[in-house]
Structure formats: C-alpha cells, structure tokens
Chain A
Amino acid sequence: MTTTEQNIDQILIPILEQVSDPEIPVLSIMDMGVVRTAVIENDIVKVQITPTYSGCPAMDVIGDDIKAALKAEGYKSEIELILAPAWTTDWITPRGRKALEDYGIAAPLSAEADKDVLLNGKRLVKCTNCGSTNTRLVSQFGSTACKAQFQCDDCQEPFDYFKCLK
C-alpha cells in the first residue's frame, strides 16, 4: 500500500466531510488529507487514515468520530491507521488552507520557503490578522506538534504557523 492516491467512494465523501479535526474544528479531515481510503466491502466501510505527526493525539478521536458519523448513516466501519506513505502538508486542499487561515493559523509555505523562515529568520509568513509579512519566528514548536509560534511585528498579533512537512 504505497500509493499516494486516495481511494474514496463517492457516496462516503459527504459523510466524511462532516468529521473535523478535533484540534482545528474548522477543518474537515477530508481537507486535511488524512483519509486515504474509504471503500465499502461486504457492507462494512473500510477506512484508512494516516497521522499528521506520529504522536498526534487527535488520531484516536478522529477514528471514533468517523465511526460515529458513518454509524449515523447506517454504516458499520473498520478504521485502520497507516503510516506509509507518510502524510505531507501538500495533501491539505486549497479549501483546507483557506479554513486554516480564517481560523488564525498560517498555512504551510513551500518546503524551501519554510526552511528560510525556520532556519534563516526570513520574514515570509503572512500574519493571519493583518496580512503583513513582517513576522518573526518565536519558537519552532507551537501549541501542537504540527505548528510553530510566530508574531507579527506590525500588528503584534501572535499566531501559529502550520509547519511544512514533506
């Protein structure tokens, strides 16, 4: 199972889109790209999800929430956690990126820009409050494993930046 393709049954998409990331409630798990497979086999929905970070405590809750959402629509389901291929921030959809920004989390930059920002102190991350790129890294580790802490030097807003993972 090393394909980067998703295999998700069309009928299941609206159900799965209702499930959100418990730590970022505005973001559906579909827009997050953590659902890799969802197919109906012998009346059971087989779902494969992949963690953003190994220690992500949201994965157990996401699994339970998927089960509950499917059950509400009359489906039995089995959830499997897979590690390969490893999740990347490239799998966040454009709609997901917008949801992050609206929520106050700066969406990941390209791998190269991310390096410039985290290692060389370049000011490229856009402030989620005022849009200025006059922002600086406060800490490489933020409120959750996937984020870094930033502050805007124009409007002073502290905010999270979703680190690029590739």
Chain B
Amino acid sequence: MKNENLYNYILGIADNSLILGQRLGELTGHGPSLETDIACTNISLDLFGQVRSYYQYAAKIAGDNRTEDDIAMLRKEREYVNVLLVEQPNTNFAYTMARQFLFDVYHLLFLQELQKSKDLTLSAIANKSIKEVSYHLRFSSDWIKRLGDGTEVSHQKMQDAIDGLWTYTDELFHQAEADIAMVSEGIGVDVTKLKEAYYNKVNAVLEESTLQIPESKWFQKGGKKGIHTEHLGYLLAELQYMQRAYPNMEW
C-alpha cells in the first residue's frame, strides 16, 4: 500500500467509534428507560455514520478491492486498534455512562484538532462529527452529575464505574507508529497535547458531581497495538457473525 501510515491512522480513529457504537447498539431494546435507550442507540448511530465515512476513505486509500464492510467486519481481533476503554462491557448503566463520558471528552478534544488537519477529507469528517459529539458529551456529562450527585446508591455505582474505568484513560494519549508519522505531516493530531485539557475537563465534571478523582497511577494499555482485553473477542463474534456466516452478503 502506498500510504500505509494514513490508512492505519484512519483505522486508529475509526475503530474507537466502531467498537463503542457496537457496545451502545447492544442496548437497543435493553436500555434502562425508553429515553435512555433511544439516546444510546442514537449515539451509536452517529458513531456508525462517522465510521462509515472513515472506512470509505480508508478503503479508497487501500486502493485494492477492499470495501468499508471488509474493513469493519473482516479483520481479526489483533488487527483492531481501538483503545481498551471503548470495548469494556455495559456492566450497568453507571458504567455505560462513565465509559461514554470518559471517551466523549477525549473525542471532542480530538475532533477539534482534527478539523485543522491538512487532509481535507479528515477535516471534513471532523467538522461534521463535532456537532454530533457535542451532544454526546452533553448527555453523558448530565448522567455523571445525576448519578454522582444523586442517591447514595447511584453515587456509589458511579464512583465504582469511574474507579473501574480510570485505568483505561491514559492510553487515549499514547501514540501509535502511524500517529507519529501523521503528526509530522500535519495530518494527524498530537494526542499527547490533549492530555492536560482532558483531565482538567474530566476532573471538573467529577468534582461537580461530588465524585472522587481516582489517585491510581497504574494504567492499562495495548489496544492501539492490537492487544485487547478479553471482552473484544465476544463483541467481534457478534459484530462479525453475519459476514462470517454469509460471506459477501449485502442488505
């Protein structure tokens, strides 16, 4: 492939949204209330929409017969480069919202920078997505506050969720090989520079929600290199089932 770094860079962005979109999609018909069910699946739909734009572009860059569906559905687990945070399961609603919030804050900061990319396709996708992601962040922040500053039980559940997921936040700011190459070409976003703004924003919302900011300095990593937690395999089994069972099927 002529432009392998760009291809891999796009997957690095899109895989996060694909896997998180799939997790949220699992809640279709299973949300805790009608409104939250619809909200989660709406967010899922936005993410899938963004993913399609990214994978279509990646397929074009690959320049072989690969389609967006091949990229989304037919890779092996080790070939997905999403961060570990987004593949964590929907343990309970506090957990689902904490995962969403910890990703949304990053996602918005990331897209604000990607808008300035020299690559016009990426900057257009960022520009389009940013409006949608602002809504996602608004929704998830709201739930952090409602549960965190809610009843004793809801507070404890949200605190447990934040404590449990905190270990996956640092990886958001690690650079893969393709990231470094794309930053140097003015195409990619230097994620290391987003870290401070990220924790400032996250901490501000947690404080407002009467939640403790975890002190742990031990962080998990590996997703960006394709080394995942045990949860991703199960997710992919469901995501890929139709394409594996009926190769080349179309709707």
Where the two chains meet, the residues of A that have a C-beta atom closer than 8 Å to any C-beta of B are 51, 53-57, 83-86, 118-119, 138-145, 149, 163, 165-166
Of the listed stretches B37-45, B160-168, B171-179, B210-218, name the one at the interface; the rest are far from the partner chain.
B37-45
A-chain residues with CB within 8 Å of residue B135 when the two chains form the complex: 140-141, 163
Q: Is the CB of B124 within 8 A of A141?
A: no
Contact A55:B131 (CB < 8 A) given known A83-B124, A139-B38, A149-B35: no
Q: Is the CB of A86 within 8 A of B124?
A: yes
**In the complex, the 4 A-B pairs of residues with the closest C-beta atoms, listed nearest first:** A55-B49, A54-B49, A84-B124, A141-B39
A86 vs B115: C-alpha distance in the bound complex, in angstroms? 12
Q: Is the CB of A140 within 8 A of B39?
A: yes
Any A CB within 8 A of the CB of B129: yes
Where the two chains meet, the residues of B that have a C-beta atom closer than 8 Å to any C-beta of A are 35-36, 38-39, 42-43, 45-50, 52-53, 120-121, 123-125, 127-129, 131-132, 135, 138-139
Q: Is the CB of B49 within 8 A of A56?
A: yes
Distance in angstroms from A13 CB to nearest chain B CB is 26
Q: Is the CB of B138 within 8 A of A119?
A: yes
Q: Is the CB of A145 within 8 A of B42?
A: yes
Question: Contact check: which of B38, B124, B125 meets A142 at CB < 8 Å?
Answer: B38
B-chain residues with CB within 8 Å of residue A56 when the two chains form the complex: 49
A124 vs B47: C-alpha distance in the bound complex, in angstroms? 30
Contact A54:B53 (CB < 8 A) given known A119-B138, A165-B131: yes
Q: Is the CB of B45 within 8 A of A86?
A: no
Contact A55:B45 (CB < 8 A) given known A83-B124, A84-B120, A84-B124: yes
A53 vs B38: C-alpha distance in the bound complex, in angstroms? 16
Whose C-beta in chain B lies nearest to the C-beta of A88? B131
Distance in angstroms from B138 CB to nearest chain A CB is 7
B-chain residues with CB within 8 Å of residue A166 when the two chains form the complex: 131
B-chain residues with CB within 8 Å of residue A143 when the two chains form the complex: 38
Q: Is the CB of A54 within 8 A of B132?
A: yes
Whose C-beta in chain A lies nearest to the C-beta of B50? A54
Apart from A86-B128, A139-B35, list 18 A-B contacts with CB within 8 A. A53-B46, A54-B50, A54-B52, A54-B53, A55-B48, A55-B52, A83-B124, A83-B125, A83-B127, A84-B120, A85-B127, A86-B124, A119-B138, A140-B135, A141-B43, A142-B38, A144-B42, A145-B46
B-chain residues with CB within 8 Å of residue A165 when the two chains form the complex: 131
